[in-house]
Structure 1
Amino acid sequence: MDDIFVIGGGINGCGIARDAVGRGLSVTLAEKSDLAQATSSASTKLFHGGLRYLEYFEIRLVREALQERETLLKAMPHISWPMRFVLPLSPEMRFDTETPAAKLLNSVMPWMKGRRPSWMIRAGLMLYDNLGGREILPGTKRLDLTQDPAGKPLQDRFQQAFEYSDCWVQDARLVVLNARDAEARGAKIMTRTEVVSTHRAADHWEITCRDADGEETTHQARLLVNAGGPWAADVLGRVAHVNTAEKVRLVRGSHIVTKRLFDHDRAYFFQGTDGRIIFAIPYEQDFTLIGTTDRDHPDPQTPAECTDAEADYLLAFASDYFRKPVTRDDIVWRYSGVRPLYDDGATSATAATRDYVLTLETTAAPLLSVFGGKITTYRRLAESALEKIGSVLPVAKGSWTAGVALPGGDIAVRDVPGAVTALCDRYPFLDPAEALRLFRTHGTQVGDIFGDAATRDDLGRDFGGGLSEAEVTWLMDREYACAAEDILWRRTKLGLRLSEDEAAALGAWMADRRAGQREEERTK
């Protein structure tokens, strides 16, 4: 019998599993699809405090997120790195009228008519700089856009800006690496395995699972963790047969990826005349990521898709800033995810809290449910979950994950550029862009994947876009990848580079390899 059974292979489920097994608890995790298949691979891909959350006076959440940025950066400098954000100033920019800050300012200074004054933005950035205790990331500075390269892609009316720090993260890789580390420490990770029912026995849970082949297995655990994300309410009602007053608010966030819109490595923070904000971020070396929207989503069974209306909204928003209008012809990919926010009764999706809520039913067979949360605070959420779990199960160790590297992240932030150069030296057939992509995917484990390869031919089949048979084999054997889309859109973003024919060939090769492995296991 396990101590804990986790339902859900997103960032919260995998983060809790990793933390728990590292404290000496036995853990099994089941994910009905691929790891990070839903919300956790559809974020804006930032470790950030959430500058706009200050307008909602969510000081505790922002402080915790700001503290986490550098903690996480140190543990995963391969899949996360510092990024500077340019926030152009304009008198046209306004508050979301739902924010407490807007209501307060409008009551005190009604002549401002809902505008965000530059002095208030500067004050917010000063708080942002100092609330979390920065050590690595540089602070805010003012830019003259008429002189700075960041002003070149923008319309002439933007002449001043602030520049501040946050961090980029490869979101789906973050999930997979947490799962890998959890498994290395003793957890059992089951992907493409749906929990079809649970039953509360006298002092434990009986959990029935069904895998992709239709085979059912039963597991036992002293405590059940519901980390179902958008399906958390469904897990409670349909699977666990539990009634609760807590609710999930589903909010769809859509993004578009365009051809590269600017040459520098900084991102933009754009304020809209409707009170919302979007980011325009350098993406995968040759592209720009623009997002996000905030729209209420009907239910988790309805696929999250970036609608034409949402794409047009993002295009128009960005075109209000860029010198050259951004059009549908510039879009190379679009994606959307459903954020399972805690339902705090906010009047709009934008105003809904990004904080998390954990509930624990302390019966003979306890149930912990996770509502809400954001990717930046996943580690702290896991620590809070273990505090609650520790009230009903004996936990041998205290918190431990801060500063402990994820697989491939055992390198100092300052040493990353040298490590990329060293990859080019060790594998001369790699060009600098390929070496950077590989390091930002696998970190110090690239050598484990490529071994003593002296030429590209030594890596086996070339699937296109720099994806080799050696890397595919590693992703299948070590990182739970089963289908082409697992690799092309979650383990990597090489789906942006492979043609449809190349993607189909990859899928066929993977299917053949899996079939051969199953046949080999059958005949043993």
Structure 2
Amino acid sequence: MTGPEQAPDHTTESETVDLLIVGGGINGAGIARDAAGRGLSVLLVEAEDLAQHTSSASTKLIHGGLRYLEYGEFRLVREALIERERLWGMAPHIIWPLRFVLPQLHSPRPAWMVRLGLWLYDHLGGRKKLPATQTIDLARAPQGEGLNPGARKAFVYSDCWVEDSRLVVLNAMDAASRGSTVLTRTRLVAARREGPTWTATLAGSSGTRTVRARALVNAAGPWVEDVIQRTRDPARASNQRDRGVRLIKGSHIVLPRLYPGDHAFLLQNPDRRVVFAIPYEGEFTLIGTTDEAWTGPPGPATISPHETEYLLDTVRRYFARTVGIDDVRWTYSGIRPLYDDHAANASAVTRDYVLDLDAAHGEAPMLSVFGGKITTFRKLAEHALEKLAPHFPMAGPAWTAGAGLPGGDLPNGDFDAFVADLCGEHPALPRTLIRRLARAYGTRAELVLAGARDAADLGRDFGSGLTEAELRYLARHEWAKSGADVLWRRSKMGLHTLPQAEAQIDAFYAGLGHA
């Protein structure tokens, strides 16, 4: 099976690229896209699949972070709020507005404090299109349906939803379309400086190789310190000016739909932490997140019984529907690599990012990324290129603000009109299928549907409309190589298909590899 059509691997062992980026999460993909658009040559390597860990385990929000105001993170909140509408415009197929209901029931904060925070939230970041905060009576408003009795006053504010792992893939696709090489299942074994360049050893499915780069970008997320250790300069690595990463596990549960309506809830708990309840995949409600210190080495994370019960207790506190452990349809957990500001409370650790440039005179630089959040990835990438600018005077200027992502060029930005047009072009296909493909791929849905007059033209159905045509598209354009890549990262179709679908897709891709 070949890689994405637009991203062949042109690098050779004798070639020197400008940037070797380690890490295929949102920060690595965003930096690759920005750098490629400035004319730099880029090689991005990811040890597993794109967005396999932290970047597919978020609460899936493009938001300022209302609760961060409580910790005085005004710069971070302002930057995130400015990015919120900008990112929505860049990818309206995978990002869209969402209204959040914040009940004052069980609130450890007085209403005046919450309202003041929301006033700042409305005005801090130049909101233009999203509606402002309003106050409602839950006993009369439709948003009160499904809640426990007793809730009255609530505030309703705006943020945006994002398909997080798809955002990563779209950045990687755009980087590849601008000349970058993106290699998944490729691990950095070691790297060493040789004057003005890095020499790095990479290991992938076809064996090991050596590459040279003028700069190394360490965007490995939870593995950022591990990559520093692989630079073969441990004495220097231990002298990183008190830079460090603090690993915090966040977990989510997915339940059958708890309430009608397309709004979300921000729920305040007595311990002052907040939990989101969000409509998810049509039939479900997403509940999260937790904040637990992760003390072991970075790796795959799973939810603990304590976290599950904490989230279920939150649901019971606010919603009328009786829920228990048997109602949990799916869970996911991720390790957030936060910059270590030495806060005592895991919930209070800053979500801001720090970029550490290790660049002695005449030596190849290494830029390490500590912390960050998905909403600010584009600004983080801009700041990363600013840090590296003295080493690449030929690089072009910043360009990503407002530059659309693949599939985001919907006519007039009107998603519903685009779906209607696509349905008109394919009248024999189910509207639900077309709408799902439009949400996932935007205008590139036409590549999946090309030439299809009816469902049979799309090939074998692996469940709930996930067809052979879509799997071929994902392998050809989006680096998908397994059932898990498709069902849990390129989509969340794993919630809608039978358990055997993953093995069936694995077998299908294995067959493509031998075709």
TM-score (norm 2): 0.94
| Greater mean deviation of Cα atoms: 341-350 or 498-507 | 498-507
In the superposition, relative to structure 1, how do residues 426 and 240 fare at CA in structure 2: closer, same or farther (>3 Å)? farther
Matched residue of 2:82: which SS? helix
Q: Distance in 2 between matches of 1:191 and 1:302?
A: 17
Q: Distance in 2 between matches of 1:84 and 1:30?
A: 37
Q: Distance in 1 between matches of 2:429 and 2:269?
A: 42
Matched residue of 1:223: which SS? strand
Q: Distance in 2 between matches of 1:220 and 1:394?
A: 19
2:218 alignment partner AA: N
CA contact (8 A) 2:191 2:230 kept: no
* Offset at residue 240 of structure 1 (A): 4.7
Matched residue of 1:435: which SS? helix
In the superposition, relative to structure 1, how do residues 131 and 301 fare at CA in structure 2: closer, same or farther (>3 Å)? closer
Match of 2:327 in 1: 330
CA contact (8 A) 2:447 2:473 kept: no
In the superposition, relative to structure 1, how do residues 31 and 331 fare at CA in structure 2: closer, same or farther (>3 Å)? same
2:255 alignment partner AA: T
In the superposition, relative to structure 1, how do residues 154 and 75 fare at CA in structure 2: closer, same or farther (>3 Å)? same
Alignment of 1:88-487 (within 5 A): 88-90=103-105, 92-94=106-108, 116-213=109-206, 215-241=207-233, 242-243=237-238, 244=240, 245-363=242-360, 364-411=363-410, 414-487=413-486
* Offset at residue 429 of structure 1 (A): 3.4
Match of 1:109 in 2: none
Q: Distance in 2 between matches of 1:27 and 1:396?
A: 12
CA contact (8 A) 1:77 1:412 kept: no
Cα deviation per residue 1:452-500 (whole Å; 9 max; x = unaligned)? 2111111111111210111100000100001110000000100101112
* Offset at residue 239 of structure 1 (A): 4.1
Alignment of 1:509-524 (within 5 A): 509-516=508-515
Cα deviation per residue 1:60-102 (whole Å; 9 max; x = unaligned)? 0000000000000000000000000000112x322xxxxxxxx
CA contact (8 A) 2:95 2:161 kept: yes
CA contact (8 A) 2:60 2:164 kept: yes
CA contact (8 A) 2:429 2:453 kept: no
CA contact (8 A) 1:50 1:62 kept: yes
Matched residue of 1:93: which SS? coil
Q: Distance in 2 between matches of 1:160 and 1:430?
A: 45
1:85 aligns with 2:78: no
* Offset at residue 395 of structure 1 (A): 3.8
In the superposition, relative to structure 1, how do residues 457 and 431 fare at CA in structure 2: closer, same or farther (>3 Å)? closer
Q: Distance in 2 between matches of 1:271 and 1:503?
A: 37
Gaps of 5+ in 2: 1-15
Q: Distance in 1 between matches of 2:465 and 2:153?
A: 40
Q: Distance in 2 between matches of 1:238 and 1:26?
A: 23
Q: Distance in 1 between matches of 2:507 and 2:412?
A: 38
In the superposition, relative to structure 1, how do residues 385 and 154 fare at CA in structure 2: closer, same or farther (>3 Å)? same
TM-score (norm 1): 0.92
Q: Distance in 1 between matches of 2:271 and 2:393?
A: 51
Matched residue of 2:50: which SS? coil
1:54 aligns with 2:69: yes
1:225 alignment partner AA: V
* Offset at residue 59 of structure 1 (A): 0.3
Q: Distance in 1 between matches of 2:243 and 2:253?
A: 32
Provide the alpha-carbon RMSD of the alignment: 1.2
Gaps of 5+ in 1: 95-115, 517-524
1:93 alignment partner AA: S
